[in-house]
Amino acid sequence: MSNSTRYAFLLVIVGLLVPVVATPATCATRENWVGVWAASPAFPNGPNISNATIRQYLRLSLGGYRLRLRLSNDLGTRPLIIGSAALAAPGRQPGSIMPHSIHPLTFSSHASIIIKPGQSVLTDPVKIDTKSLQIVAVDLFVPRATGITATHPFGVATTWISKDGNSVGRDMLPEPTQSQMRFFISEAETDIPDAVTLVAFGDSITDGYGLTVDRQFRWPDILVNRLTKANLRIGVVNAGLAGNRMLRDGQAAALGPSALARFDRDALSVPNVRTIILLESINDIGFSDDKGPPEQIVSAQDIETGMRQLITRAHAHGIRIFGATLTPFGGAEPGFYSAAGEAKRRAVNQWIRSSGAFDGIIDFDAAVRDPSHADRIRPDYDQGDHIHMNNLGYRVMAEHIDLTLLTPTPQPICAGEVQVGKSKDDAHVRLPLEAFRVPAHSSLKTPSTR
Instruction: Convert the pLDDT of each residue in 131-187 to its tens digit.
Output: 999 999 999 999 999 999 999 999 999 999 998 899 999 999 999 999 999 999 999
What average pLDDT does the chain have?
A: 87
How many whole angstroms separate alpha carbon 124 and alpha carbon 398?
Answer: 33
Domain ranges of the chain: 44-192, 195-431
How many whole angstroms separate alpha carbon 69 and alpha carbon 37?
Answer: 9
Residues with Cβ within 8 Å of 80's Cβ and at least 6 positions away in sequence, in order, are 71, 73, 114, 115, 142, 146, 184
How many whole angstroms separate alpha carbon 60 and alpha carbon 267?
Answer: 17
- What is the pLDDT, as a whole number, of residue 289? 56
C-beta separation of 198 from 271 below 8 A: no
CB atoms closer than 10 angstroms to residue 171: 16
**Identity of the highest mean pLDDT range in 28-42, 99-113, 420-434:** 99-113
How many whole angstroms separate alpha carbon 225 and alpha carbon 219?
Answer: 10
- What is the pLDDT, as a whole number, of residue 1? 52
Whether the pLDDT of residue 95 is over 90: the answer is: yes
C-beta separation of 410 from 426 below 8 A: no
Which is higher by pLDDT, 241 or 437?
A: 241
The least confident of 88-97, 291-300, 390-399, 410-419 is 410-419
Measured torsion, CA atoms of residues 184, 310, 352, 406, in degrees rounded to the nearest 10: -60
What band does 292 get if pLDDT is binned at 50, 70 and 90? low
Above pLDDT 70, what percent of the chain? 83
What band does 413 get if pLDDT is binned at 50, 70 and 90? very low
- What is the pLDDT, as a whole number, of residue 19? 41
User: Which CATH code for domain 195-431?
Assistant: 3.40.50.1110
- What is the pLDDT, as a whole number, of residue 10? 41
Counted residue by residue, the chain has a size of: 450
- What is the pLDDT, as a whole number, of residue 111? 98
pLDDT tens sequence across 36-46: 999 999 999 99
Whether the pLDDT of residue 433 is over 60: the answer is: no
